[in-house]
Structure 1
């Protein structure tokens, strides 16, 4: 037998399940999902949890583990060896790169992009259209190891670059940009550019420009075509709101 699928699991139409995959009873898979080899869908979590609800059109690649007690919107797309723990509330079209993990009990908005080896600490809140590049870490324990918890909150359309570290309790404003290797803590203003180990605010994101092509941030002005047609107007409107709010700040 290639798979172990509990007969109580709710599986939609046109669902493909790969070799060696286990689907627990507490799993509900929407239509047109593709589950790769050696995955675990609806993995039991500690305590009492509801079902894993996986939206239509998901692509879950091999060796991913999705726990019960999470609700995931349509068109999830994972890389290989991804873990999503219980209590995750996730919107439309999350893309999660290889070896990334979401530690649960938090919220992730629509069209969030996580590259490989990103770590989202338990209880994190991430807005819509956020980018987390490789090796970013969202922490939640202000005095590790302890029973304290102060999760990270990231506003809509923020960009967190490679190997950036978000300290417990940081509040990243909408449209902010945390540069590669930066350590962010405290309150990051809307549309701010953060750099360095001390998380310095060095100005607004509109200072960022690729000199050769003269391509300038904020990113929604040059990258909206990377998103589906039905959300482009939403991105433009949100971007205009962020720009107007950032313009009022003395950065």
Structure 2
């Protein structure tokens, strides 16, 4: 089965498209992208959507489905079986793990990291350098099922750990840490540590330390080297702002 590419699609130079992939006409693909086997690029969405704009240097792995009507910055990296719905505005170098989905009509900043099986509810607003680990859920319906919508907001550099649940309308402050299995709701302060099913504020991220190595949070002080060199000055500047704001809070 050969790929099916609509002649109306605008495809940049040095783009590789895998076996069995369909590219719809309402698509703009930047230079140097690699699209794997059995993907759908520019899947039609409900209503009148603009094109899917896929930035340069993307790596889209097999069985991913990217809908029309989203704008995705350079260096997207997806795992397998990823879905990105219409209306998403996504910054530079989003990494999305296997079987994750982004339900669209929201914003995702630069250098966001999503591990496998993460769910981003429709309309979510996610800042820069945010981590969403496996099985995290960002909800948006306060009385499901209903026509109500109260999406999640996550500030820059926040960390959402494995199987954490973010309730509709929660506003996670910059640099906050939502622990594994926690249920977060309401307003979460900058740099706060959130634990447990009641979303308790247990202190600040400065309490977190790996005892054997004495590695401490906040993460930007020991993990900036995991990012491209051109992002590190931003990490340092943003981290300093968050540290100062968190230090001023009485948690």
Is the pair's TM-score, using the shorter chain for normalization, greater than 0.5? Answer: yes
1:159 is aligned to 159
Shift of 1:223: 0.2
Residue 123, structure 1, aligned to residue 118, structure 2 = no
- Measure, in 1, the Cα distance between the counterparts of 2:136 and 2:231: 26
Match of 1:95 in 2: 95
The corresponding residue for 1:52 is 52
Alignment of 1:166-177 (within 5 A): 166-177=166-177
1:64, distance to aligned residue in structure 2 (A): 0.1
Corresponding residue for 2:22? 22
Partner residue of 1:113?
113
Superposition misfits of 4+ residues, deviation over 2 angstroms = none
State the alpha-carbon separation in 1 of the partners of residues 200 and 243 from structure 2: 20
Matches within 5 A, 1:29-44: 29-44=29-44
Query: Aligned-pair RMSD on alpha carbons?
Result: 0.4
> What displacement does 1:98 show?
0.1
| Structure 2: gaps (5+ residues) | none
Unaligned runs of 5+ in 1: none
Q: 1:10: Cα distance to partner?
A: 0.1
Give the structure-2-normalised TM-score. 1.00
Q: Could you tell me how far 1:55 is from its partner in structure 2?
A: 0.1
Count the aligned residue pairs. Answer: 251
Residue 206 of structure 2 corresponds to residue 231 of structure 1: no
Please state whether the residue corresponding to 1:41 is helix, strand or coil: strand
Match of 1:203 in 2: 203
The answer to whether structure 1 residue 143 and structure 2 residue 118 are counterparts is: no
**TM-score normalised by the chain length of structure 1:** 1.00
Deviations 1:192-248 (A, max 9, x none): 000000000000100000000000000000000000000101100000000000011
- State the 1:95 CA deviation: 0.1
Offset of residue 89 of structure 1: 0.1
Q: 1:99-149, CA deviations, whole angstroms, 9 ceiling, x for partnerless residues?
A: 000000000000000000000000000000000000000000000000000
CA distance in 1, matches of 2:231, 2:46: 36
1:12 alignment counterpart: 12
